Structure 1
């Protein structure tokens, strides 16, 4: 990877975005904003879309902004560091719309992409299944052809906001058996309000319901629910995961906690040597990871598929994000006075969520296997 600067015309977006977020989030407490991209607010998504900032990199012909990947990087950086509740459009804008524009039919693009850009249509991704762990290729959910289209049966789990989304892009088996691995897998668009779909939210340690378990029982889908060519679902997913693993959300999940801790340290009026060292360590790591993420953004902008590079950023970024609550908790334990309640609440939330950081987007073991194969080590 090379050091990749943000072009001036894209950096110029930062001011207007920051001003908008400052006004919109003025009354939102820090411990709520610490949820960053897991905060779900359709009103916020529509307000952001009205500014032209949902689907920023998608073609103007489809309702997007027609901007570069660097413009999107600036937008995401500001959303994450402000703690904006972007989950209502996050998956559709980041993954579903680009997937449909690359592999979908003209009718699929017309039906879904403009709605995503307006903040009116939300998507989730159906990959993981009960009992499969991180073995994505062991998909057992099956869609069979019928005279009317497809009949879908099976289950998905750990689906981010699957209980609130309008549609799912589901990886399912359309031929062969689970032992056939990636062969015979396809992706289908599933209307989550269709007959036969049942959704159960999964509550996490922080008391939130970001995830869902979804069951399909004889769900009938039209023939045009298929994305691309039957049997090519695996290659589509591999390309799609580069978008999921490469963004700033893989390095900024704990940023609001760092900001709140630094605010507390500065407010005391004195800064110890240990605090200076810890702050320097956290900010130096962030600077390196940010430059790596920017380099991946440059590759995406050049229409490359940086699967290994994105995976490296995701793995290292997760290690960094997970280290932050432990480091700050250790520091606070050495303090003679109790820290502010807002800081403790933010710490409690991030510490509770940190174990999930190495699950979403692929577990650490899976990621390192991808890296090893990419480097020719296995």
Structure 2
């Protein structure tokens, strides 16, 4: 049963970091146009990630013993919020920092922790997610990729899809079957760290409507893995990936995907008082939704700080957040169309076009709306 989301606030010591982060990121993004900043956590820039790592802003929640900051999830929340609000390109280190690193810290062997975590904290190891597969939709339990024992290691065969930034990443953590069949559902699934430069690994980019190639399909053709590629306990991959998804769905990125577009529109309104007056209701709607979603996200972060795994609560925030994110380009397009004779703002138009093209994917990444609502219904005892 889902528990109530507690009212929570960012602790003052974490909030105090915001000014420093804001000053840095505003200067770093000062000359970057909004249509580029709108890509934010899809923007791949290793040099920028290295700058963040030098300031201790990558791997903030990972243990100090492995190069991390040993800080709370609230400290990371403040940094991430400011990066996203400015449209900073965080994609290079994003997945490793958000979920792969914490997964290894929680379930990995000592050898894995000492090898991977310092590299993640230094922005020297980039990870992608190996959950979804062709023909499986969002049904992760039906994965067909399989790792079989051979000697003192494993042989991996199969495919993964929607592996964001795979052509640029060093590793993937893949959820695969190690025993039984798809009919066994959650039983028999395990997770492996796979070096993407290994023989037998092929990465094929998939181009989206915006002309980018973030998504990829990965082929594993008899890839040899050592025994220490296994993360956690064999056969416990479902429990592990469920905990990982709580990290993936709980952050502020699930409500800020359209924030640069919204900011660009506000700047446009400031230069046209008549249009601003006609958009007050819409502006109020966006403000109210964003304020509530932010408070919910902070409450989920509080649960993470308490050592909980708020799987259902994170799914709720992700579902509502995606609905909000997708509504912004749609409603702004209607608002702009209400003034057909107004002078066009080229930067706003380019940013809006990008958001309209990419927005459909927002309700796919991190779990489809249908899957999330099924989880929420179970959490409420409705199914």
Partner secondary structure for residue 158 of structure 2: strand
Residue 364 (str. 1) matches residue 366 (str. 2): no
- Per-residue deviation, residues 318-373 of structure 1 (Å, max 9, x unmatched): 00000000100001001121321000000000111110010000000000110111
Runs of 4+ in 1 over 4 A off after TM superposition: none
Map residues 258-269 of structure 1 onto 2, 5 A cutoff.
258-269=262-273
- Per-residue deviation, residues 101-158 of structure 1 (Å, max 9, x unmatched): 1110000000000100000011111000011111110010000011140100000001
Equivalent residues of 1:128, 1:136 under 8 A apart: yes
Shift of 1:272: 4.2
- Which of 330, 337, 361 pairs up with 2:334? 330
Equivalent residues of 2:270, 2:276 under 8 A apart: no
Residue 131 (str. 1) matches residue 135 (str. 2): yes
Distance in 1 between residues matched to 2:123 and 2:87, nearest whole Å: 18
Aligned partner of 2:259 in structure 1 is 255
- Which of 173, 176, 191 pairs up with 1:172? 176
Distance in 2 between residues matched to 1:364 and 1:277, nearest whole Å: 27
Partner secondary structure for residue 61 of structure 2: coil
- Per-residue deviation, residues 3-23 of structure 1 (Å, max 9, x unmatched): 211111101111111111112
Aligned partner of 1:151 in structure 2 is 155
- Which of 331, 336, 340 pairs up with 2:345? 340
Residue 212 (str. 1) matches residue 182 (str. 2): no
Residue 7 (str. 1) matches residue 16 (str. 2): no
Comparing 272-281 with 285-294, greater Cα deviation is found at: 272-281
Distance in 2 between residues matched to 1:272 and 1:103, nearest whole Å: 52
Aligned partner of 2:56 in structure 1 is 52
Aligned partner of 2:357 in structure 1 is 352
Equivalent residues of 2:49, 2:90 under 8 A apart: yes
Partner secondary structure for residue 163 of structure 1: helix
Equivalent residues of 1:264, 1:339 under 8 A apart: no
Map residues 215-294 of structure 1 onto 2, 5 A cutoff.
215-294=219-298
Map residues 5-44 of structure 1 onto 2, 5 A cutoff.
5-44=9-48
Equivalent residues of 1:186, 1:233 under 8 A apart: yes
Unaligned runs of 5+ in 2: none
Comparing 265-274 with 164-173, greater Cα deviation is found at: 265-274
Q: What TM-score do the two structures reach when normalised by structure 1?
A: 0.99
Unaligned runs of 5+ in 1: none
Equivalent residues of 2:204, 2:218 under 8 A apart: yes
Residue 91 (str. 1) matches residue 89 (str. 2): no
Q: What TM-score do the two structures reach when normalised by structure 2?
A: 0.97
Aligned partner of 2:105 in structure 1 is 101
